[in-house]
Each structure stands twice: as structure tokens, then as C-alpha cells.
Amino acid sequence: MRWDIFCRVIDNHGDAGVCWRLAAQLARRGEAVRLFIDDASPIAWMAPQGEPGVQVLPWNAAEAAELPGGAGDVVVEAFGCELPVRVQAAIARAAHERGHAPAWLNLEYLSAEPWVARTHGLPSPVTHGPAQGLRKHFFYPGFTPGTGGLLREPGAGREGPAPDAAQWLADHGIPHADGERRVSLFCYEPTALGALLQGLAGGPTTRLLVTAGRATAATRAATDRLDVQAPGWNAAGRLRLSFLPLVPQDDFDRLLGVCDFNFVRGEDSLVRALWAGVPFCWQLYPQDDGAHEAKLAAFLDWLQPTADWRALFEAWNGLPAALPALAPQAWQPAMQAARARLLAQDDLVTQLLRFVQALRA
């Protein structure tokens, strides 16, 4: 089948990252994929080698007088992006010419909230525009049976030989020393960042691997403030900072695997942290209406962390909780149990292919 995936970039790591992984995994299963995206620049460093079977096209190609080649067999709106009118017209035209409409899916945001399982797979009639009278279906990723599952390539999350952390770090020019605790930092601008840095500086020797972009900017700003407000806060030198360049997805995934603890943000890196099997802390995209708080609470209810691990999630996301010291060894059993629950379920692409086949039957 030919798949058309449409993506508008809001958080360039998350939106583009999820859509690229989806496209690549479909292509590896023999599907032909076109990814229409309004900002393809993240793909250049996320997947510099590309992927056979995936064609990346600018969003304005979907707004042309004629969608090249017409609508695909499957059309995916990622994260509720609204399809251009000409694409909707192409879907309607394909329905008329082929005698059946393309499978039209709205791939939604990831959430552990209970309503996700109730909504997953439901049809949504199209009530206006050139595709009026057709319908699309909601497809919700999720953490529990009854949802669409998570993106997972073969082998991800399975126990195997531990990665050679020292070799991987050396290959990427990252300083390291025996006995250092390794922590990755991929975040927005958490208010608790300064407290975290101070806490790490007062604990065991830690190499903090700071990802490029907003995490680097936030960390530099936080250390500048600490230098003024708490001179000597890292006088013992126990906190060692390494600022990383942008790295391809494969290297980011390996980074999570060689660390003792990971701070992640958004959707794509949350899923990768789960497969890495290393305790982590997730920063949700902050929303003015506080919707991220309910989303976090639902995720924590699913994760079943220890009380102090839960407090870390809450404090990191701006809720009133004390920031605890990192204790990854104590948190590992809950981490392993959560990953085992996920591995017992089919991955998202397997479920997506099954869902589309049922729609086309």
C-alpha cells in the first residue's frame, strides 16, 4: 500500500521524530510512504541516511493544484494537523474512482488517560469540505491493551548484551571517567533545573550529557544564575557537563541506553526511554490550561513508580513536590516491570497495519 503521512512541526524533535519513525518502520515492512512535512530540516540530522521506501515532500506539495499521484491508500493526519483542502478533495476523488475511500486516520497524541482506550479506533464523520460524507478514524497510541500501542522496531526493549558505554562515548568524543554516573538531559525549561544541578553537584560524581537546543540553552542559563546566586555551588567538581551536538535518532537511542538515568521530554523520547529500560524522568509539554498535569498523573498511575520517583516527576513538571535525589538502582524494578507490560503488547505499526486491513476488508 501507499501511505501519505502529514505532519506540521510544533516541537521539532517530537512531531518530526514520531512521524519519521512511523514512516521508516512502515517502509521496512514493505510499505511505500510519502511524508509531507512543513519543516523537513529536523529529518536531515535525525536520519541523515534517509530510508528506502520513504519520500519526504514539502507541505506545499500537498497544497498544489493536483496532489502528486493522487491520495494514497492510507492517509494519516499526525497529531490533529488539518489536511489541506486539495488533499481532502483528492481523498474524495479517490473514493469515487476506486469505489472505496482511502483509509483516513487521525494519529493522535500519546496519553495514558482512561478515555484513550474508549476513543481509540472510533470513526469521525467528515461534515464539511470537499470530503464531506466520508469518515476518518481516531488512532491513539497508548500504554495498555485496547489502545494502539507504541512505536517499537524489532528487538527494541528486549534484554541483550549491555552496550559498551565507554566505547560509545569515546567514539562520539564525549569525555568520561571510570566511576562517573551518567545522566542525559533532554528538556524544555523546567523551573527545577537549578535545584537539580545543585543536587547533582552535591552527590556522586556525575557526567551530565546535555542535548542540543533548548536543553543546552536552559542549562547554560541555570548555571549562570547559580554562579551569581550560589558561588562555589560546584566547587568540588562533582558535576561535569558535556554539551552534545544534534545527533541522529539511532545515536540518541544509544545515548539513553548508556546512561544511568535519563531526563526526556515530549513524546518520542519518552517512548525511547521506556525501551532503553533505564529509570527516567519525563517532562511533558507545558500547557497553560494545566492539561499536562492530568496527563502526567495518568501516566504515573500506569508506571507505578516508588513514592520518591513519583515526586521527581511531579517536581520536574512544576508541581508542588520536593525534588528527591536520583536513585536509579532503587527505581529499576518498577522500570523493568513497566517495560515488561509494554512488551506483552503488539507494537503500534503492527496494530496500525491490522487496523487498516480491517477498514479495507
Concatenate the DSSP letters of all residues of 230-274 into one string: STTTTTT--EEEEEPPP--HHHHHHHHHH-SEEEEETTHHHHHHH
Label residue 166 by pLDDT band (50, 70, 90). Answer: confident
Residues carrying an active site annotation: 15, 267
Residue 162 has pLDDT above 70, yes or no: no
Residue 3 has pLDDT above 70, yes or no: yes
Which is higher by pLDDT, 174 or 103? 103
Does 2-149+345-360 match 165-343 in CATH topology?
A: yes
CATH of 2-149+345-360, one of 1.10.3300, 2.60.40, 2.40.128, 3.40.50: 3.40.50
All structural domains of the chain with their residue ranges: 2-149+345-360, 165-343
Closest CA to 59 of 78, 32, 46: 78
Rounded distance between C-alpha atoms, residue 222 and residue 191, angstroms: 9
Residue 143 has pLDDT above 90, yes or no: yes
Find the DSSP H helices in the chain.
Answer: 14-28, 41-46, 85-98, 115-119, 165-171, 193-201, 214-229, 249-258, 268-276, 291-303, 307-316, 328-343, 348-360
Closest CA to 76 of 111, 102, 115, 50: 102
- The C-alpha cell of 41 is what? 530540516
CATH node for 165-343? 3.40.50
Please give the backbone phi and psi of residue 220, each rounded to the nearest 5 degrees, phi first: -65, -40
Mean pLDDT of the chain: 93
Each residue's pLDDT tens digit, 184-229: 999 999 999 999 999 999 999 999 999 999 999 999 999 999 999 9
Q: So what's the pLDDT on residue 331?
A: 98
Each residue's pLDDT tens digit, 315-358: 999 999 999 999 999 999 999 999 999 999 999 999 999 999 99
Q: So what's the pLDDT on residue 160?
A: 60
Q: Which pairs from 172-177 meet CB under 8 Å and 24+ separation?
A: 172/244, 172/247, 172/251, 174/207, 174/209, 174/242, 174/244, 175/207, 175/240, 175/242, 176/207, 177/205, 177/207
* Pair 244, 174: CB distance under 8 Å: yes
**Exposure pattern of 175-190 as b/e (b: 16+ CB <10 Å)?**
ebeeebbbbbbbbbeb
Q: For 84-113, what is the mean pLDDT?
A: 94
**Which of 161-165, 176-180, 204-208, 268-272 is the least confident region?**
161-165
The count of C-alpha atoms lying within 13 angstroms of the C-alpha of 64, restricted to the half-sphere facing its C-beta, is 13
- The C-alpha cell of 2 is what? 501507499
How many residues in the chain? 361
